[in-house]
Chains A and B, each alone.
Chain A
Amino acid sequence: MRMYLSRVARGGAHSSLQLIDLFLHEVGRYSSTLLLLMVFCVETGVVIFVIRDLRAADHEVQSIYAGSVLGLRGIGELQYQAQETRRSTLYALTTNDSNLQVEYADQSRAADRRVTDGISDYLAHARMPREVDVGNRLERDWSAYLKVRDEVLASILEGSIKEAVDFDLAGGVPSFDRVRQDLEDVKRLYDEQASQRLTIVDEASRRSAGRLVGVLCFTLLFASVSVWAIQRAKMLSALKLAKLQMDFVASVSHELRTPLAVICASAQNIADGVVEEKEQLAKYGSVIRNQTRQLTDLVNQILLFASTKEGRTHYVLRPLQVPPVIDAVLRNARETVEEAGFTVEQHLDPDLPEIVGDSSALVQCLQNLVGNAVKYGGSHPRITIRAFVDKAHEHHDDEVRISVEDRGIGIDSSEIPHIFDPFYRSPVVAAAQIHGTGLGLPLAKNIAEAMGGRITVVSKLGVGSVFTLHLPIGKKTRQTMTVIESDSFTRQ
């Protein structure tokens, strides 16, 4: 992505589609799973918002139910009990039987206790000033009515019916009307609160619906864009691959045609009898042998890459000593190195542990690195091979590193991410007419990974490159190393 930004910065005037393609080219290097993951993350974020809204609305509805619906039911119960208080009192007027009158008085008092408790409960839960005002007024008016009710009951029980009726008409009726009015006020207050809360719920529900629609639209849009982007990235990738393959075919054709042309010309000269002397014949034979070997190497490289790519190659992994591997590499590459006039320096740690790998594959891998060092070694014909264990870093002490260093043309930092791509050849190298197929490094990388290792590169344009093969140390070797280390620690 950083490269994309730098390219955009460098690129000057680009059309928007070119910029998108550039972006997709970079994005296309990652899997489409990443895109789907991004979509999923965004979707999850928005859905969390929607769920939060829905939960808030649900909470508000529960709050309305608890605060208003239950409250209204409570007030309805209070109204009924207040009526019951008055009704029982008046029932006592309808009989002369003192026992019945006492029963009615009892009923009236039981109902009035429920009303009094209900009012206390309402006051205890009242929060707003209006609620407290109405509650206090209700409590006061109810107490006033109860005083009159007590007098009325006493008069009824005493048998003074006229007096009871007079008391009720003078005090009972108006005070009970006030209580009724107060209860209506409380009810109205609950209604108002319920309306306000319903408005909030309505808003929350509309907001949730809006967000849901937004999520759906966003999902549709994002999915469409993602599908388009994935398709376009795939298309760009396919185009790039096709171009690489065309380049490869052209390169291989060139690599094949040149030695074939030399072989053909040499053979023609010999056949035409142009070459007669023994020395010249030997020279022509040498040319044909070299060109044939070059062709064989090329074909072998292609076949080997194809087999490693398809996973058809079976490696035999076993513990190996590093120096014999490096000796084999240098033996195989000696002719190439010497013909190019290069010298090779070796710096191998004396106590290198055993590694685990396939001997011939490792030789092939390192040989490719040495061949590249020769090919791109420029005007400084010196190659340095090092093998060591990086004990300075604790988490790197379980691997052996074999590095191949040249002081050649180096690699531009923008090229480094692509040099392990199959068939990739740097435009600079191609322009300099340095022969190659773009398969050497990918093949080396495949082999390294098959051995459980990796290849890293450090390079500076015009200074040189260091390719390092990291290989894991065998288990037995590691145990031995640990024992040796602990022994030395004990001795210390």
Chain B
Amino acid sequence: MWRVAGVLIIVSAAVLLLEVSPTAVLNAAGAPPETELPDQSLAIIVNQSNPVDNVSFQDLRTIFLGERSHWPNGRRITLVMLEPGQPERKVILHTIYRMTESDFSRHFLQGLFTGEVFVSPKTLASPVGVRKFVFNVPGAIGYVRVPDVDDTVKVIRVDGHLPDDKDYALRIPARPAK
């Protein structure tokens, strides 16, 4: 009896830990320990011509889930994702989608088939590719680390917070130095 209760407590604690910190997920996947790498922010970027400057986390989730088809200016939304396995994608899947890779694939296959999802995400190999894609497509939205941002794209606020703000929701461990 005590043995079962002990296992339950350990599992619950592990689940709680996963819910609280995305870095813990990465640690579990074999990433370097948190103490060695400071957090970076993951910026949500759109085309410079996009009039939107701020979205709520909920709206951001709706957009990334493909449940919204157009921006307020009428431009079609194009969702840009990094290829599977990239740490940025893992953070987005965990924080925004709250899905695993298989759940993510299933969501879009099913949604496009049923017509509940309007946008099929474009997959790019690198953050530079993501940035160039967003620069070329007026309705594109994607994510890159803050150091990968330049003036060809626009960073939007999430719940009124910019990536440098303390309460910004999307955090990722810094890349190890080369």
A interface residues, Cβ below 8 angstroms from B: 98-99, 102, 105-106, 150, 153-154, 157-160
Contact A98 B120 (CB under 8 A): no
Interface size class of B (residues with CB under 8 A): 10 to 19
Report the stretch among B12-20, B31-39, B107-115, B135-143 that lies at the interface: B135-143
Please name 4 further chain A to chain B contacts, defined as beta carbons within 8 Å, in addition to the given A98-B123, A157-B137, A158-B78, sorted by A numbering.
A99-B125, A102-B132, A102-B133, A157-B136
Would you list 28 pairs from A and B whose C-beta atoms are within 8 A, ordered by A residue?
A98-B123, A98-B124, A98-B129, A98-B133, A99-B124, A99-B125, A99-B126, A99-B129, A102-B129, A102-B133, A105-B132, A150-B136, A153-B137, A154-B136, A154-B137, A157-B78, A157-B133, A157-B136, A157-B137, A157-B140, A158-B76, A158-B78, A158-B137, A158-B139, A158-B140, A159-B78, A159-B120, A160-B76
Chain A hits for B125, CB < 8 A: 99
Q: Which residue of B lies closest to A151 (CB)?
A: B138
Give every chain B residue within 8 A of A153 (Cβ-Cβ): 136-137
Interface residues of B (CB under 8 A from A): 76, 78, 80, 120, 122-126, 129, 132-133, 136-140
Report the number of A-B residue pairs with Cβ-Cβ less than 8 Å: 40
Please name the 10 residue pairs, one residue from A and one from B, whose CB atoms are nearest each other, closest first: A98-B122, A157-B137, A102-B132, A154-B137, A105-B136, A158-B78, A99-B125, A102-B129, A102-B133, A153-B136
The CA of A153 and the CA of B129, in the complex, are separated in Å by 15
Inter-chain contacts of B138 with A (CB < 8 A): 154
Complex alpha-carbon distance, A102 and B139, angstroms? 15
Contact A102 B76, CB 8 Å, known A157-B137, A157-B140, A158-B139: no
Nearest-neighbor residue (CB-CB) of B78 within chain A: A158
Inter-chain contacts of B76 with A (CB < 8 A): 158, 160
Residues of A within 8 A of B126 (CB): 99
Q: Could you tell me the distance in whole angstroms from the C-beta of B94 to the nearest C-beta in chain A? A: 23
Most buried by B among A102, A106, A153, A159: A102
Interchain nearest-CB distance for B71 vs A (Å): 13
In the assembled complex, how far is the CB of residue B86 from the closest CB belonging to chain A, in whole angstroms?
13
Provide the residues of chain B in CB contact with A154, threshold 8 Å.
Answer: 136-139
Chain A: minimal CB distance from B18 (Å) = 31
Residues of chain B contacted by A160 (CB below 8 angstroms): 76
* Nearest Cβ on chain A to B104's Cβ, whole angstroms: 17
Question: Could you say which residues of chain B place their CB within 8 Å of the CB of A150?
Answer: 136
> In the complex the two chains form, is B123's CB within 8 Å of A102's CB?
no
Residues of chain B lying within 8 A (CB to CB) of residue A102: 124, 129, 132-133, 136
The CA of A154 and the CA of B133, in the complex, are separated in Å by 9
The CA of A105 and the CA of B123, in the complex, are separated in Å by: 16
Q: Which residues of B contact A159 (CB under 8 A)?
A: 78, 120, 122
Instruction: Name the residue of chain B whose CB is nearest to the CB of A163.
Output: B76
In the bound assembly, the distance between CA atoms of A160 and B137 in angstroms comes to: 12
- When C-beta atoms are compared, the residue in chain A nearest to B131 turns out to be A102
Question: In the assembled complex, how far is the CB of residue B24 from the closest CB belonging to chain A, in whole angstroms?
Answer: 31
Residues of B within 8 A of A106 (CB): 132
- Shortest Cβ distance from residue B25 to the other chain A in the assembled complex, whole angstroms: 26
A96, closest chain B residue (CB): B122
- CB-nearest residue of chain A to B128: A102
Report how far A106 CA is from B136 CA in the complex, Å: 9
Instruction: Tell me how far the C-beta of A288 lies from the nearest C-beta in chain B, rounded to whole angstroms.
Output: 133
Residues of B within 8 A of A158 (CB): 76, 78, 137, 139-140
**Closest chain B CB from A146 CB (angstroms):** 13
The smallest C-beta distance from A343 to any residue of chain B, in angstroms, reads 120
Q: Which residues of A contact B80 (CB under 8 A)?
A: 98
Nearest neighbor of A157 in chain B, beta-carbon distance: B137
Chain B residue contacts of A157, Cβ below 8 A = 78, 122, 133, 136-137, 140
Q: Which of A99, A106, A150, A159 has the most CB of B within 10 A?
A: A99
Q: How far is the CA of A150 from the CA of B140 in the complex (A)?
A: 14
B101 CB to nearest A CB, Å:
18
Which of chain B's residues has its CB closest to A104's CB? B136
> Which A residue sits closest to B138, measured CB to CB?
A154
Expressed in whole angstroms, the minimum distance between the Cβ of B10 and any Cβ of chain A is 43
Measured CB to CB, the nearest residue on chain A to B122 is A98
A213 to chain B, nearest CB (A): 68
Question: How far, in whole Å, are A157 and B133 apart by their CA atoms in the complex?
Answer: 7
Collect the chain A residues with CB atoms within 8 Å of residue B120's CB: 159
A69 nearest CB across to chain B (Å): 38
Residues of B within 8 A of A105 (CB): 132, 136
B136 to A, closest residue via Cβ = A105
Q: Which of A106, A150, A154, A160 has the most CB of B within 10 A?
A: A154
Q: How far is the CA of A173 from the CA of B10 in the complex (A)?
A: 67
C-alpha spacing A160/B77, complex, angstroms: 12
